[in-house]
Amino acid sequence: MSNGKAIIFSAPSGAGKTTIVRHLMGLPGLHLAFSVSATTRTKRDYEKDGVDYYFISAEEFLQRARNGEFIEWEEVYPGQYYGTLKSEIERIWNRGEHVIFDLDVVGGLNLKKILGDRALAVFVKPPSIDVLVQRLEGRSTETPEKIAQRVAKAHHEMEYEPRFDTVVVNDDLIIALRQAEERVSHFLQQP
């Protein structure tokens, strides 16, 4: 394996981590490549298999987990699994790039534990739970029950904030993007 590093972005659903990750990937000087996670959840209309996620059945997911193909995986919601394939990280590092992750909070911390100093774990924090609810409702992609489930999970996930290397509060997106750029750039420049 090369000397690639890993950048892990985690947040409660709706905090803006995906927006920040996409922005960072557009900056050529950082040499970041997105790690596509595997999931058993249903593909949304705008998503592409192999780009946003590898959409696989629960049976295939659990078989691959038994085969040791994941560096980390978990059951995020009942019957919905998410995981990071070892082959995905190796593919990116072998191309001489750094890998960037968009993971839920527990997955992000698990990966940080495994990768250690080779990874920077960033927690994206919403300015408040109320703002988070507004953002989730504004997506118009989820039922009120799903939003309630995500908000309940967000309350729990916020407790993990102190375990991350750094925190970006996404209140003003422009400021949050700048902070994320500075922190990631600084980390990648370290030997």
Residue 151, in any domain of the structure: yes
Is a pLDDT exceeding 50 seen at residue 1? no
Residue with tokens 């118009």: 140
Residue 153, in any domain of the structure: yes
Residue 98, in any domain of the structure: yes
User: Which amino acid makes up residue 102?
Assistant: D
Residue 1, in any domain of the structure: no
Report pLDDT for 2: 62
Residue 92, in any domain of the structure: yes
pLDDT in tens, 35-75: 999 999 999 899 999 998 999 999 999 999 999 999 999 89
Report pLDDT for 76: 83
Residue 141, in any domain of the structure: yes
pTM value is: 0.84
**Contact call for residues 10 and 165 (beta carbons, < 8 A):** no
Is a pLDDT exceeding 70 seen at residue 27? yes
One-letter-per-residue 3-state SS of 106-135: HHHHHHHHHHHHHEEEEEEECCCHHHHHHH
Long-range contacts of 148-154 (CB under 8 A, 24+ apart): 149/77, 150/12, 150/13, 150/14, 153/12, 153/13, 154/12, 154/13, 154/14, 154/15, 154/126, 154/129
Choice between 141 and 27, residue whose per-residue pLDDT is larger: 27
Report pLDDT for 137: 82
- Cα atoms in the 13 Å half-sphere on the side-chain side of 17: 22
Residue 99, in any domain of the structure: yes
Q: Which two structure tokens, joined as six digits, stand for 100?
A: 């960037």
Q: Average pLDDT of 133-154?
A: 81
Q: How confident is the model at residue 13 (pLDDT cuts 50, 70, 90)?
A: confident
Report pLDDT for 14: 78
Is a pLDDT exceeding 60 seen at residue 26? yes
Q: What is the CATH number of the domain that holds 165?
A: 3.40.50.300
Residue 158, in any domain of the structure: yes
Task: Please tell me the total count of domains within the chain.
Answer: 1
Name the residue range of residue 149's domain.
6-189
pLDDT in tens, 117-133: 999 999 999 888 888 78
pLDDT in tens, 88-107: 999 999 999 999 998 889 88
